[in-house]
């Protein structure tokens, strides 16, 4: 595993112009929740290069199946059955095995199972809305769910979120920690959503839009969408600065 060991240095610097800025007035809540001062740049130390490990053994049989993990015996949630699959890669296209993915979403009507949620769309008694999985050796993952509905939210008087699935990702180092959202190909709400618009470029937005994947669709059962996630790559330590002779 010489290759693996060679790339265990600091993570590549985050391209802050590619990510949404902290302060994005179109998304009103960010106005008072964004630091005013510049971030202090810090090349990774051992505290950021390392990160917790999640074993495959902690994952239950239905953890990645939102169709079944909350449904009552013999019942199913309402909505369009879909499979979401893809790979977690780093910026050098290397697979990231053992990455923990946690995902959450609204039900088919656009309603979250949460005390503070006030949208009038009904809860689905058979849908919890969360799941998790760990990537395989090749970085691949797969989940099954109901396609989430779009929903209105208080920002502008008539702002709607496009259908989306939230993803929380743990790679190998704490500096790779990332939360993002997956959108669905062809959704017209993507391009008028203030949260999507916090992302500066069209190209970056498109990297969060999952295409329909007919080859992975299960005929007469569930359509498939493909969603790859990219985490920060890392430098090689092969010729790192160190005291000569050590």
Residues known to be catalytic: 112, 151, 161, 164, 166
Distance of CA 155 to the CA centre of its chain: 23
**CB nearer another protein, residue 155 or residue 217:** 155
Contact 194, 156 (CB under 8 A): yes
Closest approach, Cβ 92 to another protein, in A, equals 6
For residue 80, the 8-state DSSP code is -
Give the residue with the Cβ less far from another protein, 138 or 218.
138
Give 168: exposed, middle or buried? Use CB within 10 Å, 0-12, 13-18, 19+. middle
Between residues 50 and 80, which has the closer beta carbon with respect to another protein?
50
Give least dist CB 216 to another protein, A: 20
Q: Give dist(CA 25, CA 66) in Å, integer.
A: 34
**Residue keyed to tokens 């890669």:** 89
In whole angstroms, the minimum distance from the beta carbon of 146 to another protein comes to 15
Q: What is the largest CA-CA distance in the chain?
A: 69
């Amino acid at each position: 595993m010489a290759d693996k060991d060679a790339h265990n240095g600091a993570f590549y610097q985050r391209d802050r112009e590619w990510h949404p800025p902290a302060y994005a007035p179109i998304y009103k809540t960010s106005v008072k929740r964004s630091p005013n001062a510049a971030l202090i740049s810090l090349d990774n130390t051992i505290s950021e290069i390392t990160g917790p490990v999640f074993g495959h053994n902690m994952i239950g049989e239905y953890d990645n199946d939102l169709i079944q993990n909350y449904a009552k015996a013999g019942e199913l949630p309402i909505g369009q059955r879909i499979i979401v699959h893809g790979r977690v890669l780093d910026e050098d296209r290397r697979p990231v095995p053992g990455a923990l993915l946690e995902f959450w979403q609204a039900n088919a009507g656009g309603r979250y199972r949460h005390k503070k949620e006030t949208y009038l769309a009904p809860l689905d008694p058979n849908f919890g809305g969360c799941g998790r999985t760990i990537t395989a050796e090749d970085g691949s993952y797969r989940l099954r769910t109901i396609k989430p509905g779009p929903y209105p939210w208080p920002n502008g008087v008539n702002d709607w979120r496009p259908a989306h699935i939230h993803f929380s990702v743990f790679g190998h180092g704490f500096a790779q920690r990332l939360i993002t959202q997956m959108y669905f190909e062809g959704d017209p709400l993507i391009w008028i959503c203030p949260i999507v618009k916090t992302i500066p470029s069209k190209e970056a937005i498109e990297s969060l839009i999952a295409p329909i994947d007919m080859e992975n669709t299960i005929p007469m059962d569930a359509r498939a969408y493909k969603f790859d996630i990219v985490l920060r790559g890392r430098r090689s330590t092969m010729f790192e600065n160190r005291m000569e002779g050590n």
